[in-house]
Structure 1
Amino acid sequence: MELVKRYIYAVTHKLPEAQRADIEKELHGLIEDMLEERIQGGEPTEKDVEEVLLELGHPRKLADQYRGYKQYLISPALFPTYVSILKVVLFAIGIAMTAVFGIETFMDPANVLDHFVGNLFSFINACFQGFTWVTVVFGFIDYAGVRKEKLGIKEDASWKPSELPPLPDSRTRISRADPIASIIFTILFTVLFTFSIGLLGIWRFPSEGSSIVVPFFNEEVFRTFLPFIWALLAGSVLLDCAKFIFGRWTTKLIAADIVIHLLHFVLALAMFSDASIWNPDFLAQLADSGLAPIGSEAYELASSIWNRATESLLSLIGIVVAVQVIASVVKGYKIKDVC
């Protein structure tokens, strides 16, 4: 019956992946046995099913029994998802800081110890901030009532099987890999913009001496936009956490997704329309590096591309955002069809 499937899904969907199939099979058998004992060979009614499920108890409590321990740091309903997201965030921070250390060491191998110590402190600080922000995000989601109204069932003694959330439709389901990948890339970009913006540029590796980087951006001006970048990236992570928690597209999630994409374009427009964000000495530094001497064909090509950098970059960002918005609108129509 549909109610039995919903109950089993509510118990198993946040348990470890390796346990779900066995527990689902066990619950099916247990519920069938309890119904058989109750009806003694007759046909079970919906009331019989509800009474059996009430006897089994709240899905969250039953899941705790299978899990073997109770969880109360954030909330019993959200804690497993909180831990999963926290692991993803810390893993992404580790990858990002390792990449920064590798690049800095490659660029300047003579000061590898300084790079290691500096990145170690940055890693500890980033992990602390990551832990803090993930906890704040999940605390906010729990405080906003998402757990009770959208994700789970009432946790008091008045719980009823009819309050079980519906099974997600395959057309609206969000793969867990999508928000996880998005969170990882968002954190990588955050670390890059925060610690290594000076490494974005043209690299040259001379036969002797340290490597040379001709940066694209005026770092001093770029850093004035960092609070807006952090705020928008934090909004992106918050949205990805919501996707991970819900596990399915809703009209509100789609609307938020479209708003985040549009805000990305607005921020890009504000940033790159300011000509001072670009390195004012880029062409001169490029010529001094020997990669494109003044008067050479390479210099003329670089100058032509550089003069169109803002227009080209904004056009590219606009196309990407337009594709993402269209994809979100299509998801909205799918949800409409399902409903």
Structure 2
Amino acid sequence: MDLINRYIYAVTQKLPESQRAEIEKELHGLIEDMLEDRRAGGEIASIADVEQVLIELGPPGEMAARYRGRERYLIGPGLIDSYWAVLRIVLYSVAVALGIFYIVDFFASPAPTAEKLLEYFVSLLSVGIHGFAWVTVIFAYIEYRGARQVSKGPWKPSDLPAIPEPADRIKPIEPVLGILFTVLFFVLFTFSINLIGVHRFDENSIAIPVFEQAVFAKYLPLIWLLTAFSIFNEAMKLITRKWTPQLAVMHVIFNVASVIVAVILFSDMTIWNPIFMDQLVQAGLVTPGDEAYETVKSIWDRSRDGLIYIIVVITLIDTVSVVMKRFRGKEGNTTLTK
């Protein structure tokens, strides 16, 4: 019966993933036994019988608490698997991103030394600690928010959420990639912004940055806040594994915030390298008056607005995609209930 499946799903989702299959089987048996006791003369259990049995068992949160004990947790068993998954993704992403950027920086430096390797490990330790703190705080907040949700009245089986339809489900790879790219951008903008530019790797290595690092640094708090918001958003996707109205709204808010930060950041002319074209000429990469020079200069002059337009278009496509997923999910649910 659908009501029983919804109840068991709601209970097991609050338990560690390693225990879910066993407890699901146990709950099915328990509910069947309770229904059997209510049957008279082999009658089929009615919906009213099922509802009464589920009320006797109690709300899914309380049933899950009985299985795992009454201990208090900073991050409870229902979230611990997702917590470790997100923490591993963040730490691995930090190690990979820093490794890539410092390898490029190592070979791009005129005189690479052992200090670069030491700098990598110091940065890895520092960012790793920050990543651990961010993920822990985010999951502690999610745990606290879940514990604070109190029902306004007596719990009823009809309050059980439906098991998500395939169209509404979120594949684990989606939040994993979201966290990966978030960390990559965070590391790039925080530690390796100088790598965004024109590089030539030879005996006379040349590095011409696109941005003024000192000016760019004043916008880092905005980027850090956006990073934390993104990790929180992706963590919620990994926990729920389905699109909900709240998740869709959070995703749209994040996209709007990303566009606002991009407009604020790239509209500031002082963050752009004011002598970029002069440095290209001095490096012998272009010659004033040449067609190549005019082409590069045209691209450079339009890069600010062009970058903003690209970000807006990509964000708009992503937002429409999420809205369409929700629309298709609702349309599918409506068709099934007719």
TM-score bracket, normalised by the shorter chain, equals 0.7 to 0.9
Equivalent residue for 1:181? 177
Q: How many residues align?
A: 327
The answer to whether the Cα contact below 8 Å between 1:54 and 1:160 also exists between their aligned partners in 2 is no
Q: How does 1:173-322 map to 2 (within 5 A)?
A: 173-206=169-202, 208-209=203-204, 211-322=205-316
Q: How many Å separate the matches in 2 of 1:42 and 1:109?
A: 85
Equivalent residue for 2:106? 105
Which whole-Å deviations, capped at 9, do the CAs of 1:158-205 have from their partners, x for residues lacking one?
Answer: 977665433122232222221221111101100000000000011111
Equivalent residue for 1:325? 319
Equivalent residue for 1:60? 64
Distance change in 2, residues 1:301/1:172 (3 Å): same
1:115 partner amino acid: K
1:176 partner amino acid: P
Q: How many Å separate the matches in 1 of 2:234 and 2:177?
A: 9
Which whole-Å deviations, capped at 9, do the CAs of 1:211-267 have from their partners, x for residues lacking one?
Answer: 321111111111111111211222222222222223222223222222221222122
CA offset at residue 331 of structure 1?
3.4
2:120 partner amino acid: N
The answer to whether the Cα contact below 8 Å between 1:201 and 1:216 also exists between their aligned partners in 2 is yes
1:6 partner amino acid: R
Equivalent residue for 1:131? 132
Q: How many Å separate the matches in 2 of 1:97 and 1:72?
A: 33
1:196 partner amino acid: S
The answer to whether the Cα contact below 8 Å between 2:15 and 2:78 also exists between their aligned partners in 1 is no
Distance change in 2, residues 1:223/1:37 (3 Å): same
Using structure 1 for the length normalisation, give the TM-score.
0.82
Using structure 2 for the length normalisation, give the TM-score.
0.82
SS for the counterpart of 1:94 is helix
Distance change in 2, residues 1:191/1:269 (3 Å): same
Distance change in 2, residues 1:112/1:2 (3 Å): farther
Equivalent residue for 1:88? 89
Distance change in 2, residues 1:290/1:14 (3 Å): farther
Q: How many Å separate the matches in 1 of 2:54 and 2:265?
A: 60
Q: How many Å separate the matches in 1 of 2:18 and 2:292?
A: 57
Residues 1:6 and 2:33 are matched in the alignment: no
Unaligned runs of 5+ in 1: none
Q: How many Å separate the matches in 1 of 2:19 and 2:103?
A: 39
The answer to whether the Cα contact below 8 Å between 1:217 and 1:279 also exists between their aligned partners in 2 is yes
Please report the RMSD computed on the Cα atoms of aligned residues, expressed in angstroms: 3.2
The answer to whether the Cα contact below 8 Å between 2:57 and 2:63 also exists between their aligned partners in 1 is no
Structure 1 stretches of 4+ moved >6 Å: 14-19
Unaligned runs of 5+ in 2: none
Distance change in 2, residues 1:277/1:301 (3 Å): same
SS for the counterpart of 2:84 is helix
Identity of aligned residues (%): 40
1:228 partner amino acid: L
CA offset at residue 4 of structure 1?
2.3
SS for the counterpart of 1:214 is strand
Deviating more after overlay: 40-49 vs 185-194: 40-49
Equivalent residue for 1:140? 141
Q: How many Å separate the matches in 2 of 1:125 and 1:224?
A: 20
Equivalent residue for 2:76? 75
Distance change in 2, residues 1:107/1:71 (3 Å): farther
SS for the counterpart of 1:202 is strand
Distance change in 2, residues 1:38/1:334 (3 Å): same
Deviating more after overlay: 165-174 vs 53-62: 53-62
Residues 1:166 and 2:185 are matched in the alignment: no
Counterpart selection for 1:51 from 50, 53, 57: 53
The answer to whether the Cα contact below 8 Å between 1:14 and 1:80 also exists between their aligned partners in 2 is no
Q: How many Å separate the matches in 1 of 2:171 and 2:230?
A: 17
The answer to whether the Cα contact below 8 Å between 1:54 and 1:161 also exists between their aligned partners in 2 is no
Q: How many Å separate the matches in 1 of 2:187 and 2:158?
A: 46
Q: How many Å separate the matches in 1 of 2:295 and 2:288?
A: 11
CA offset at residue 296 of structure 1?
3.4
Distance change in 2, residues 1:160/1:252 (3 Å): closer
